[in-house]
Structures are given as C-alpha cells and as structure tokens.
Amino acid sequence: MPTSNTASTSAKARRVTDAAGVVKGWAVAQGANSREVVRVTAANQRIEGVAKATAALGEHAGVQTTGEALAVAASAFAAGAELNVDTQGRFKAVSEIAGTVAQVCGRAKTAAAAAGDLFTLELSAPIRKFLDASPDHAAATDDGASSSCSARRERSCSRSWRVNFQANGSAARS
C-alpha cells in the first residue's frame, strides 16, 4: 500500500516525439497530446515535468510531474529559489526582466553551484508570475505566501467600507 509520500509524487511514461530525444534530469514539455513529450526549446517555457531517463525518438520515458525530482541546473542558485527553464530545458532561478511573466515550475530543495550540477527540485503546478520591479508590488508579493489570506483581508476591508458608507451615506444625502 502506498504511503502518503509516494502518493504525492507521480512519474508517468510518455512517448518521446522530439527528434533530438529527451535527457535525464532536464525539463520536458507536452507534445501533440497528453501522452507525448518533447524537449523544451524556449526559455521560460511551460513544462510537463522532468525526464527520469534519457530516451530517443519513439521511446517511452518516465516523466516526474509532481513531488521531488532530480534535475540539472543551468546556472548557480540557492536552495529555496523559484525556478523556471532555459532554452535547453535545464533549470535556472527566475531572472526575467520586470514586466514579463515567468513560468515558475518549482523550488530548489538543494542549491546548485554551477551549470550541469544535479539538485533536488520540488515540482509545483505551473505558476504564471508577473515580475514587477515596483517596491509596492514587491511588498505585496512578499507580504504573505497565502494569497487567500490577503484576499480575505481585502474582502473584509471592502465590507467594512461598504457598511460605513451605507450608514453615513443616508445622513450625507439629507
């Protein structure tokens, strides 16, 4: 019987449809359908998961889609860094310029000292993150990891304002 740790990770066999094949530890993207994968070819591309083995065109490769995966770094980064991919499918710290949307695919559980290093990646559901350099935005995103908490606070403030407005609004009209 699987434990909760095993249930939280999943590796699925997918057919490789890229002529160049896929490389163990590198990111792969969905192919023409959900049962196929191709090599990542663009920086900041949305990924399907991490190849668990090197496989050639037409072969099946295990693809880690959730949980922890052993991955290859594109450059140095610290443990805990949010990651996306380079043009080859290796993982790098999110470093796109302000005003762009980053496709965050997970966090580094361990650090990487240089390109080619193996590290442990905690895969997440794809997150589109707008990168804004303004100090107000940075404070808002660092404010709390749980956006539902800040949304709840915002709704509460809206209700308070609405109640005060309705109470004072009738007096202001007369």
158 vs 96 pLDDT, higher one: 96
pLDDT surpasses 70 at 156: no
Domain limits of the chain? 4-143, 144-174
The predicted-structure confidence for 3-51, as pLDDT tens digits, reads as follows 333 334 567 899 999 999 999 999 999 999 999 999 999 998 999 999 9
Torsion-angle region of 22 (φ positive above 0: left; ψ -120 to 50: alpha; else: beta): beta
List residues bridging with 123 in a β-sheet: 67, 106
Q: Which residue, chain included where needed, has tokens 């660092």?
A: 142
pLDDT average, residue stretch 139-162 = 40
Q: What is the pLDDT of residues 78-120, one digit of tens each?
A: 999 999 999 999 999 998 888 888 899 999 999 999 999 999 9
